[in-house]
Amino acid sequence: MASYEVAGLQVALYRFAHYKGPIDGIAGPMTNRAIVAFQRERKLTPDGKVGKQTRVALGRYGRPLFGVRTIKRGKVGFDVSVLQFLLAKNGLPPTRLNSNFGPATEQLVRKFQRKAGLPVDGIVGKATRAALIVGKSAKTTKVPPATKRHVVQPGETLTAIAERNGTTVRELASRNKLDPSGVLLIGATLVVPKGQTVARTTSVTASLDRWAAHYGVSAKLARALAWQESGFQPSVRSSVGATGVMQVMPATRNFVELFVIGQPVPRTTDGNIRVGVAYLDHLLGVFKGNVRRAVGAYNQGPAAVREDGLYPETRRFVANVLALRGRV
């Protein structure tokens, strides 16, 4: 697969909760493991190759390949995922990678066509596809002296970039013509203005209760999970990279921002708690309200729980969380 097709595959695997890495078009070990896990789940030969059977099993997110058909408003599928990825690579990131060619995606296509000197019809035919792939519309712009460039890295959000560079989300989004609630794609280059850092603080327990109420999750369960994970300590970082009160892995944050919440979340204590509680709510939905399996999936991963059940160490983790309900 070409790199842009790999990106479409990554989006499809995200939809089935098997891939939690960045949408970067790189067919690395994480992508291969996700393919094999999906194939095993669907009783296919787990060879890591994305053939016709695997793409059929992915449903509308696995086909058609980019270039098979002309894409226009109303289309949904693998090729639309690729289109949205390529638009982002050309400096026109969509607010959501939803694999749906709606009005917002059509507007971005028109902008791209205008920059590339193509007929502006909002339809992705042969000429527009070719220009997207080779990056014909990419232009260099002069950066004002009081700014700098930043290439978006895996796991970053607009809020985190703004805070690190002493500016605000509004100013950063305005300078780059982005939707502040949209999704950032790996590799996108931002012009970063300088400004004043905005500090945010919040109470851990108040934050847990607020987001539990927001997502309709038991506050007692959310608190118990947080205590088991970190003892309510915002600065905890595990040996495998899980961070904060809810011990959120970077890949889990990417998944939650992209497919559960639908927008970047501030990299603060409150933001960490929101991501963790939102993911817990998502897992409760996946496992149809089964608290034991949902909490187990928070620790072990949903795909592994579906395939193997709860590991012995996961069962101990779940037992501890359930015993803590109402006590923290």
Q: Which domain holds residue 208?
A: 204-324
The residues near 316 (Cβ < 8 Å, ≥ 6 apart) are: none
What is the C-alpha separation between 296 and 46, in angstroms, rounded? 25
- Give the CATH number of the domain where residue 163 resides: 3.10.350.10
Q: What is the mean pLDDT of residues 162-181?
A: 73
Degrees (nearest 5) of the Cα angle 146, 151, 155? 125
Residue 297 resides in a domain? yes
Q: Tell me what the pLDDT averaged over the chain comes to.
A: 86
Clarify whether residues 261 and 223 are in a common domain: yes
- Give the CATH number of the domain where residue 209 resides: 1.10.530.10
What is the C-alpha separation between 39 and 208, in angstroms, rounded? 37
Residue 169 resides in a domain? yes
Residue 140 resides in a domain? no
Q: What is the mean pLDDT of residues 313-324?
A: 89
Neighbours of 8 (CB within 10 A): 31
Residue 107 has pLDDT above 60, yes or no: yes
Clarify whether residues 104 and 219 are in a common domain: no
Clarify whether residues 25 and 130 are in a common domain: yes
Q: Which of 5-9, 67-71, 93-97, 158-162 has the lowest mean pLDDT?
A: 158-162
Clarify whether residues 208 and 184 are in a common domain: no
Q: What is the pLDDT of residue 143?
A: 41
Residue 316 resides in a domain? yes
Neighbours of 39 (CB within 10 A): 21
Q: What is the pLDDT of residue 252?
A: 94
Report the domain count for the chain: 3
pTM above 0.75, yes or no: no
Clarify whether residues 113 and 209 are in a common domain: no
pLDDT digits (tens, 9 = 90+) for 209-257: 889 989 999 999 999 999 888 878 888 787 788 999 999 999 999 999 9
Give the ranges where 59-118 is alpha helix by DSSP (H).
78-89, 103-116
Helical (H) or strand (E) element with 122? none
Residue 141 resides in a domain? no
Q: What is the pLDDT of residue 56?
A: 92
Q: What is the mean pLDDT of residues 148-157?
A: 76
Residue ending a domain, among 193, 215, 231, is 193
Q: Which of 69-73, 176-180, 317-321 has the lowest mean pLDDT?
A: 176-180
Q: Examine residue 64 and say whether the peptide bond preceding it is cis (omega within 30 degrees of 0).
A: yes
Clarify whether residues 168 and 248 are in a common domain: no
Contact 153/138 with Cβ under 8 angstroms?
Answer: no
Residue 294 has pLDDT above 90, yes or no: yes
